[in-house]
Structure 1
């Protein structure tokens, strides 16, 4: 493990903010050279991030780990002084989008998380393995005879969408609609989102969720959405807005980062033939490989937003109350002080304490399910698609622009079945 000499914050922590150039295709394809420069230059930078927003960027692992557990850094966007943050949300019924555990702090966060935590325990998730395996095999049955596929649209996307839909009790046939609305609500690039597009998508999403809730009241089942409706109607542990916000969070967060984990993991392997060969020869390396995919190029990029509830100091830099603090897990997870040879993909890496799922009270509730789906999907694809190879050169894979990272498409070829 390397060490870093003591040094004052670099120029990025001063007057002039660093621009994360989401309009530059080269940066979107590979942001890590710039990330490495920022981390080496200073532990904290003022930065212009996706959507043109201002933030304080925390770049080093030790500081990021502490910041994720600091109660002075909250998750409620209403604590931010930058009014542009709220303007990126629907201009009506914002409470029905904000009242979820991702955007709340204790005690509300504690109450909301407890309502759904039992659905995502390691034991409960382990019991889902046969169903996830069956869904994975069915999707591969459909593409295997062709010898060619887009592993995002044909595989990595429908698998987690189907899993979360079945867990919630949502009709799987509706997935194309709520995927489209979710993309319009959360996609971020260099420019602020179009308010008209955001408002229209949220109206569709809210109407859809309201209809789901109405159906579950009339016909409750043994699913998570029915349990949440009961918690709202009979136990009074949720407000109406909180119920809508919770369903939206579970639908969106329940699939989109897992899509990126599966597709991104496969893209990494196909771009690193030696690692692919190693995993093919020893499938027992798969759990560790998933952790390395999360560290090396995980689905949340550059990191996790928090808002300073009071003046706070990070790595010697004073950050004013109300500031947006972007805890850059994607940058910190390549910190050489924490990870030897961090820019090398190594599926045999030990002590892989990455921050891709966060840390502290907001640690990703769906982490066990994401790991299970990632292991099954990637392992089964390697087993059932012999000769799997990219149909384009690695640098030609298109990537999501900001906030969430993963291939938009992953065209591949393989030996056709049968």
Structure 2
């Protein structure tokens, strides 16, 4: 297979638009050896059919401890390393099955659906604050505070603690993989872990009708979540349900601003919003290039031999642009039926928070389009600052609109 291909994260053109590079990778083969932004070698699964199958292949494990490259764990801050091992996303059956079943009893479709009026109210309040100025940073002023407020309320974080909660969350989620700061990340993880332990203890003493309260009482016959699993689950719901939603909202809005015909189509027909959210997830999803697995044994993916212990990236961002699955895959089309995308994964690890992300994305983007007249970028598209590696989202989204 030759030398691995270095993903060019230092190239501003790649950071702004990695998809032409990804297209060449996909056209070159179903699995490509690459060097990631952290300098580690990985096997990138590039095609839709292979990626979908990889998500359900039991030979690809979510447990990172089997990786041949020890740096995969060593580069994680120590606090994250410890808690990640209790997290549902890093476990395989039967442990994953037990945790998923317990959490599903608390994090129900009904609980998410009941949030719709509150999500709308938070969205309107945030827009009320920026509309008079006629300009805003739609990440800092809108896309970021919306999901952190929603997840805080869902978990039952007291209003008086939310500033600290958001401070720790921002430290955790704004770390650049090419410029890691393990001390700051370790501090934030430890603060958050200690805080959640205390919050869970308080909710045991004084039960509340929120998600943490429901997780505490969730039972499956004689099984319950233990203390470490509860804290790890709260972490997972926070992190997975926060930054991915920020990126969904930001990426969706900027995609529309870069495609004025699609923006007009969606404004003229708001009934397309559910379709549009799926298309934003497919076209420029919040995780990039994809989701990590470890080869638990020697195997083949798409006819390519992958050795035991190899780090495998199921490249959802690349697979969701595969023209074999999505005709004219590089074209944004808000009327497209794109529900088969892999942005939320597939199989037993399919994102538990997907209904909440969809709800927030639909309300946030739809309300912004309805209320922000003459919405336009305040800087050239080429100057927008994108996150580097692992996730795909904007650090800032400066816009203008007609003040009211």
TM-score past 0.5 threshold: yes
The partner residue of 2:49 within 55, 62, 86 is 62
Partner of 1:9: none
Indicate the SS of the match to 1:373. Answer: helix
- Compute the TM-score of the two structures, normalised by the length of structure 1: 0.91
Say whether 1:360 aligns with 2:347.
Answer: yes
How far 1:190 sits from its partner (Å)? 5.7
Say whether 1:95 aligns with 2:82.
Answer: yes
The partner residue of 2:132 within 125, 136, 145 is 145
How far 1:216 sits from its partner (Å)? 1.8
Rate the CA distance shift 1:111–1:277 in 2: closer, same or farther, 3 A. Answer: same
Indicate the SS of the match to 1:56. Answer: strand
How far 1:251 sits from its partner (Å)? 1.2
Partner of 2:296: 309
Indicate the SS of the match to 1:364. Answer: coil
Partner of 1:22: 9
Structure 2 CA distance for aligned equivalents of residues 22 and 188 of structure 1: 15
Map 1:316-331; keep pairs closer than 5 Å.
316-331=303-318
How far 1:15 sits from its partner (Å)? 3.0
Rate the CA distance shift 1:186–1:84 in 2: closer, same or farther, 3 A. Answer: farther
Say whether 1:216 aligns with 2:232.
Answer: no
8 A Cα contact 2:197 2:231, kept in partner: yes
How far 1:243 sits from its partner (Å)? 1.9
Rate the CA distance shift 1:110–1:142 in 2: closer, same or farther, 3 A. Answer: same
Moved over 6 A (4+): none
Partner of 2:286: 299
8 A Cα contact 1:22 1:190, kept in partner: no
Rate the CA distance shift 1:146–1:235 in 2: closer, same or farther, 3 A. Answer: farther
Structure 1 CA distance for aligned equivalents of residues 283 and 395 of structure 2: 18
Partner of 1:82: 69
Partner of 1:11: none
Structure 1 CA distance for aligned equivalents of residues 105 and 384 of structure 2: 38
User: Which deviates the most, 335-344 or 171-180?
Assistant: 171-180
Partner of 2:158: 171
The partner residue of 1:243 within 230, 234, 237 is 230
Structure 2 CA distance for aligned equivalents of residues 412 and 108 of structure 1: 46
Deviations 1:119-176 (A, max 9, x none): 4443432222111111111111111111111111111111111111111101345444
The partner residue of 2:330 within 336, 343, 346 is 343
How far 1:235 sits from its partner (Å)? 6.5
How far 1:214 sits from its partner (Å)? 2.5
- Compute the TM-score of the two structures, normalised by the length of structure 2: 0.94
User: Which deviates the most, 31-40 or 204-213?
Assistant: 204-213
Deviations 1:349-374 (A, max 9, x none): 13541110100000011111111111
Aligned residue-pair number = 403
In structure 2, runs of 5+ residues without a counterpart are none
Say whether 1:282 aligns with 2:255.
Answer: no
Structure 2 CA distance for aligned equivalents of residues 182 and 202 of structure 1: 9
How far 1:228 sits from its partner (Å)? 2.6
Structure 1 CA distance for aligned equivalents of residues 174 and 60 of structure 2: 24
8 A Cα contact 2:171 2:185, kept in partner: yes
Say whether 1:49 aligns with 2:36.
Answer: yes
In structure 1, runs of 5+ residues without a counterpart are 1-13
User: Which deviates the most, 108-117 or 176-185?
Assistant: 176-185
